[in-house]
C-alpha cells in the first residue's frame, strides 16, 4: 500500500463495505468542471494524479454512480470519495512528540505550539499532531463536541503560539463558554504586506468558505453568507513595504486574521494560501526580489503568532494571562526588514 497526500491508493477496491472519506455537494451555481479539478480545490494537499488514480479504481461517485476523472461536475451534484479501508482521523494514537507545555494544573494545560504542527488529526494528517502528543502525556482527556480530546480552540498548522487544553469535562465546558461569550482574550502578532495607514482599526465582515476555492475562506461584506467575524488591529512597527501589527479577536473563525487582513489589502507575509508568498509591495529591482526571497526562506510559512492568551481559571475564576516570545523565524525576518528599511527611502 502507498499512503501520500491524503489519498492512499490500493491495487483494487474491495467489493465489501466501502468507507466514505470525503463528501461534497456542488453549489447550484457551479459551472461545469472536471471532477478531478473540483476535488483538488477541496481536498487539502491532494494531487491530481492521486485523484485520477482513485477515479480509475472506482472510488469517486456522483449521486451514487461511479464516475471517471473527466466527469463534469454540475450544480447540486453529490460527490463522494470512498475506499475499502476506514478513515483514520478517529484512530487517535498516542505519540511521544516534542510539546512545549508552559503551564499545567489539575484542570488545564497551556501549550506553546510550534509552527508546522497540526492541532488535531484529520485528512492527510493522521499522526504527528498536537493531540497525538498530548495523549502520550495525558491518557485521559475529555472529548469535545467533535470528539477531539481536550480541545477548546485551535490555531492553523503554520501558525505558532498559545493554546489552552482542558483536562476535565467541567473545565472544557467552562472554557468553551468563555470563548463563546468573548470573555477570553487572544492577541496575535502578524507581519503583513504594505504600509498600514491607520494606527488602529476594526475589521468587520462575515467569513465563510470561498465558493471558487474551498480551501480558502473569504469575506462576504453583504452579510448574506458566512459567519460574523470581528478583528481589531493596531500597528506595532512600520517597516516600509511591510508592517508588524497586533490583532485581537472578538470571534474565532477559520483563518480569520489571514482573511480579514487580506480583505483590507494587507495579506500576511508569505501566506501561500492567500497569495502572500509573492511580492505584493516594493520595487522591481533584482536585489529587492532576492531580499524578499531570502526573507521567505527564513520564514517558510505565514507570519502569524498567537502571542498572548487570557481567561478565567475554570475552578478559581481568577484571571490568568500567558505570553509567548515571537518565534525565531519571525524575529529573523523582522530584523532583515528593519535593516532594509533603514537604508531605503520610500
Tell me the catalytic residues. 156
* Spatial separation of the C-alpha atoms in residues 47 and 56, rounded to whole Å: 15
Q: Which residue has the cell 471558487?
A: 212
* Spatial separation of the C-alpha atoms in residues 233 and 190, rounded to whole Å: 10
Instruction: Please give the torsion angle defined by the CA atoms of residues 89, 97, 185 and 169, in that order, rounded to the nearest 10 degrees.
Output: 60
* Spatial separation of the C-alpha atoms in residues 140 and 215, rounded to whole Å: 33
Q: Which letter, b or e, does each residue of 170-179 get, where b requires 16 or more Cβ atoms within 10 Å of its Cβ?
A: ebbebbbebb
What phi-psi label fits residue 27: left (phi over 0), alpha (psi between -120 and 50 degrees) or beta?
Answer: beta
Q: For residues 188 and 304, is the Cβ–Cβ distance under 8 A?
A: yes
| CA-closest candidate to residue 323, choices 309, 304, 305, 303 | 309
Cα–Cα separations (whole angstroms), residue 131 to 243, 255, 346:
33, 20, 46
Amino acid at each position: 500500500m502507498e499512503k501520500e497526500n491524503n489519498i492512499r491508493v490500493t491495487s483494487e477496491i474491495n467489493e465489501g463495505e466501502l468507507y466514505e472519506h470525503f463528501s461534497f455537494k456542488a453549489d447550484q451555481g457551479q459551472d461545469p468542471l472536471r471532477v478531478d479539478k473540483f476535488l483538488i480545490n477541496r481536498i487539502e494537499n491532494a494531487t491530481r494524479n492521486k485523484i485520477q488514480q482513485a477515479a480509475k479504481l472506482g472510488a469517486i461517485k456522483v449521486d451514487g454512480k461511479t464516475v471517471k476523472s473527466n466527469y463534469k461536475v454540475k450544480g447540486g451534484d453529490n460527490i463522494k470519495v470512498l475506499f475499502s479501508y476506514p478513515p483514520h482521523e478517529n484512530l487517535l494514537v498516542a505519540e511521544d512528540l516534542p510539546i512545549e507545555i508552559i503551564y499545567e494544573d489539575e484542570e488545564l494545560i497551556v501549550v506553546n505550539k510550534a509552527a508546522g504542527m497540526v492541532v488535531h488529526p484529520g485528512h492527510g494528517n493522521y499522526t504527528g499532531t498536537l493531540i497525538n502528543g498530548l495523549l502520550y502525556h495525558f491518557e485521559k482527556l475529555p472529548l469535545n463536541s467533535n470528539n477531539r480530546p481536550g480541545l477548546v480552540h485551535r490555531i492553523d498548522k503554520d501558525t505558532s503560539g498559545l493554546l489552552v487544553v482542558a483536562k476535565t469535562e467541567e473545565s472544557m465546558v467552562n472554557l468553551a463558554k468563555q470563548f463563546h461569550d468573548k470573555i477570553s482574550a487572544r492577541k496575535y502578532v502578524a507581519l503583513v504586506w504594505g504600509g498600514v495607514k491607520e494606527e488602529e482599526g476594526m475589521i468587520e465582515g462575515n467569513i465563510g468558505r470561498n465558493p471558487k476555492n474551498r480551501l480558502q475562506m473569504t469575506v462576504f461584506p453583504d452579510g448574506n453568507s458566512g459567519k460574523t467575524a470581528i478583528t481589531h488591529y493596531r500597528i506595532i512597527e512600520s517597516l516600509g513595504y511591510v508592517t508588524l501589527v497586533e490583532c485581537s479577536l472578538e470571534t474565532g473563525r477559520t483563518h480569520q486574521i489571514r482573511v480579514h487582513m487580506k480583505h483590507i489589502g494587507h495579506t500576511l507575509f508569505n501566506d501561500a494560501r492567500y497569495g502572500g508568498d509573492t511580492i505584493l509591495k516594493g520595487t522591481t529591482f533584482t536585489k529587492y526580489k532576492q531580499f524578499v526571497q531570502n526573507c521567505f526562506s527564513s520564514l517558510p510559512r505565514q507570519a502569524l503568532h498567537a502571542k498572548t492568551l487570557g481567561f478565567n481559571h475554570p475552578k478559581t475564576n481568577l484571571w490568568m494571562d500567558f505570553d509567548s516570545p515571537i518565534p525565531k523565524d519571525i524575529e529573523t525576518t523582522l530584523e532583515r526588514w528593519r535593516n532594509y528599511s533603514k537604508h531605503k527611502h520610500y
